[in-house]
Structure 1
Amino acid sequence: MIQVFCIEGDHLRRVDPKPGEALPAGTLWIDLLNPSAEEDKAVEAWTGAAIPTTEDMAEIEESSRFYTEGGVKYLTVPILHKVDMGHRKIAPVSFVLTDRLLVTVRYSEPKAIDLYIGRATKPGSGLLGPRCSGRSVMLGIIEATTDRLADILEGVTEEIETASQAILHKQAAERPMSTKEFRRLLTRIGSQGTFLSKVRESLSGISRLLAYIQVGVEAGEPRKETRAWIKSLERDTQSLENYVDFLSNKITFLLDTVVGLISVEQNAIIKIFSVAAVGLMPPTLIASIYGMNFHFMPELGEPWGYPVALGIMVLSAILPLFYFRRKGWL
């Protein structure tokens, strides 16, 4: 699908030119969503720039993600999508930047881009000015992406705090957690850790994109306001990366805590069995003695022999437990 946006005052307006027709005046942004080969060719004819394929976008080398060819900048950034649906996937989005025009190529539907389109096409939003270019649209998309990542991190923080409450506060007041509860907590915390790695990957790609743009800017271009915008986005990205590191350390601490609690519960169970085994050893010894088939055992012929033997076995089981209690081992 091809979406073409033109500048109209202080907002974008979507137009639908047909392949083979000239682009309308004021076109700033061409958005390619799951493009076909014919759509790729149509955009290449409009812009004179090659459109990266899915194989090109999947490259992980920085030289393959950020480069300039024929005066056109090619920038590829991994962006999260389907977060609200629970899938939490990450997919590359390519920005093809010419002197004035921006082409985005994507095979996913990040919510940040949809949010930007909704805001940028609304009159009076203040996102675009009369001197804006495709670079302004790209920075606006990056800003919307960082805002979206910040909102996502707020949700992750709430999840981590909920898990922390379940581990640290409920553990002391309530009964020990069951194996099922421990498994659920480990899965919950581990999934957040995996998700944070994807957030970090996306932030790292955005940070490298901004650094590439900043280094590659010629003297006097872009305008002072745009350079300040890039610096602001770099600071926002850096602060989010630091916050992701903080959350990752917290998740590591919670995982270590859960593993430690599991070890404590296992040790408590083993201690019970150990004490039970030690407590039953003297009665077992006495029962074994009286289970011997010797003819000359005087108490076997006495009426008090059986209850006395039982009493000795009970007493021999109680005395070790009392001793363990006095020592503080129980």
Structure 2
Amino acid sequence: MITFYKNNNGLFQTENSQNNCWINAVCPTKEETKYLLEELQIPEAFYNDIEDIDERPRIETENGWFLIIIRAPFKSNDEKLPFNTAPIGFIFKENIFVSLCFSQVEILSDFVLYSQRKKIGIMNHYDLVLKLLLSSSVWFQKYLKQINQRIKQAEHNLEKSIKNEELQALLQIEKCLVFFITSLKGNDNLFRRIKNLKVSVDTFDPDLLEDVEIELRQAEETTNVYSNILTGMMDAYASVISNNLNIIMKRLTSISIILMIPTLVASLYGMNVPNNLQENSYGFMIILLISLIISILGVFLFKKKNMF
């Protein structure tokens, strides 16, 4: 879908393309792709790069066109990976600005509503890129709060019973955090490159640069904190599982030894040799009593050694 936005103390949707408008393309159809490549004549290589879900944040130029790719978070429908990141490409030159994304991310529509509510103006193409990068950092932190709630819920469930499902949920969250960390580092490196461009003195708002840097750093630090907490929690539960297994094996071994005592006594007195009890009418009861006494002594000793 392609949407056109015009800057007027906030971004407002228009029906057709105008000069210096923002052309927002999300999961474009074949006709919309034809419009981007043939009518706007954006480089096909840029289009293909953005289509790659694993594309890293970077800046590139070709025939007067500029390409800036950032990574933005989104909530996926994949149960194995509830949160993921996707590339958003900004292709622009002179009076044309196109944003292109092949995933349903929330930051674009949210930024439009935010600009209308706060009556935010857009000075130039780089200003819009930086503000969208700032919005991306904010959304990283929003999703990190949801991830933190999932961690707390999984921890609560694990306190009741350690199941594979709960451990798998933690592994999924850990995978999401790895994607977040990688994407945030890429966005941070991209921001530093944009900040060091020669046009920065006359083009960039210093307050905006400071806000983007702060939000990026905060998102990175928060992600690292959650990742460290999750890693420590996984290690702790791995130790708990190993310890529980050792306790179970110790108890089973103790029980096996106790059960072996009556078997040993019965085997000895069941041999076809004289044992002074073969003619005794109470021989069977005596053997049972001997087995019981030795077994009770064994249980007492194991209990004293904390083997049960």
Which TM-score tier does this pair reach, normalised by the shorter chain? Answer: 0.7 to 0.9
Q: Please say which of residues 31-40 and 148-157 is displaced more in the overlay.
A: 31-40
Residues of 1 paired with 2:164 and 2:78: CA distance?
Answer: 23
Cα shift at 1:150: 0.7
- The one of 155, 158, 170 equivalent to 1:189 is 170
Residues of 2 paired with 1:299 and 1:193: CA distance?
Answer: 68
Aligned position for 2:48: 54
Quick one: structure 1 residues 227 and 38, their matched pair in 2 at CA, closer, same or farther if it must change by over 3 Å? farther
Q: Residue 317 in 1 paired to residue 306 in 2?
A: no
Residues of 2 paired with 1:281 and 1:43: CA distance?
Answer: 81
Aligned position for 1:151: 142
Cα shift at 1:140: 2.3
Quick one: structure 1 residues 234 and 46, their matched pair in 2 at CA, closer, same or farther if it must change by over 3 Å? farther
Q: Is the 8 A contact 2:251 2:307 kept in 1?
A: no
- In structure 2, the gaps of 5 or more residues are none
Cα shift at 1:126: 2.9
Q: Is the 8 A contact 2:53 2:87 kept in 1?
A: no
Aligned position for 1:68: 61
Residues of 1 paired with 2:34 and 2:268: CA distance?
Answer: 96
Alignment of 1:1-330 (within 5 A): 1-8=1-8, 10-17=9-16, 23-25=17-19, 27-36=20-29, 39-40=32-33, 42-43=35-36, 49-50=42-43, 52-55=46-49, 57-58=51-52, 65-83=58-76, 87-99=82-94, 101-120=96-115, 122=116, 124-128=117-121, 132-167=123-158, 170=159, 177=161, 181-218=162-199, 220-223=201-204, 226-294=205-273, 296-330=274-308
Residues of 2 paired with 1:46 and 1:240: CA distance?
Answer: 39
Cα shift at 1:38: 5.0
SS at match of 2:215: helix
Write out per-residue CA displacement over residues 121-166 of structure 1, whole angstroms, 9 at most, x where no aligned residue. x3x523226xx22222222222222111111101111222233344
Residues of 2 paired with 1:243 and 1:30: CA distance?
Answer: 33
Q: Is the 8 A contact 1:2 1:31 kept in 2?
A: yes
Residues of 2 paired with 1:164 and 1:236: CA distance?
Answer: 28
Q: Is the 8 A contact 1:182 1:262 kept in 2?
A: no
Q: Is the 8 A contact 1:102 1:137 kept in 2?
A: no
Quick one: structure 1 residues 219 and 321, their matched pair in 2 at CA, closer, same or farther if it must change by over 3 Å? closer
Q: Is the 8 A contact 2:250 2:307 kept in 1?
A: no
SS at match of 1:256: helix
Residues of 1 paired with 2:187 and 2:71: CA distance?
Answer: 8
Write out per-residue CA displacement over residues 64-98 of structure 1, whole angstroms, 9 at most, x where no aligned residue. 93222344321112322234886434322111133
Residues of 2 paired with 1:100 and 1:205: CA distance?
Answer: 28
SS at match of 2:199: coil
SS at match of 2:278: helix
> TM-score normalized by structure 2?
0.87
Quick one: structure 1 residues 28 and 69, their matched pair in 2 at CA, closer, same or farther if it must change by over 3 Å? same
- Residue-pair matches, total: 305
SS at match of 1:221: helix
- In structure 1, the gaps of 5 or more residues are 18-22, 172-176
Q: Please say which of residues 81-90 and 280-289 is displaced more in the overlay.
A: 81-90
Q: Pairwise CA RMSD of aligned residues?
A: 2.6
Cα shift at 1:36: 4.6
Q: Is the 8 A contact 1:81 1:111 kept in 2?
A: yes
The amino acid across from 1:164 in the alignment is: E
> TM-score normalized by structure 1?
0.82
Write out per-residue CA displacement over residues 189-247 of structure 1, whole angstroms, 9 at most, x where no aligned residue. 11110111222233223212211211114263214xx1331232122112211221111
Residues of 1 paired with 2:88 and 2:241: CA distance?
Answer: 43
SS at match of 1:300: coil
Quick one: structure 1 residues 153 and 82, their matched pair in 2 at CA, closer, same or farther if it must change by over 3 Å? closer
